[in-house]
Amino acid sequence: MDLLAYLSDDNGSWIGGLIGGTCGLICSLGSLILFIAALVSILKADRLSTAAKILWAVVAFAFPFIGSLAWFFWGKKNQDKLSF
């Protein structure tokens, strides 16, 4: 059986898998980039104490997507209030 016949018998469902896989890959890479950017930003934060940096790093590792977003939307803006 040749490849074209195999793909045409599948009624085009391979296209959905290709699109879904591509979207999954893009979302995963975006999440990884966000996580790495958050860790770099946490480690470079001058106003945070070492304990606060460790706490934010633990949050980012425990919840990579939500923790990274929390850092950029809440933690980075409130550095003065969070230093231990």
Measured CA to CA, the distance from residue 18 to residue 26 in angstroms comes to: 12
Residue 73 pLDDT greater than 60, yes or no: yes
**Which residues touch 35 (CB under 8 Å, ≥6 apart)?**
60, 64, 65, 68
Domain boundaries, the chain: 3-82
pLDDT at residue 17, as a whole number: 77
pTM over the 0.85 mark: no
pLDDT per residue as tens digits for the range 4-58: 655 555 555 667 777 888 999 999 999 999 999 999 999 999 888 999 999 999 9
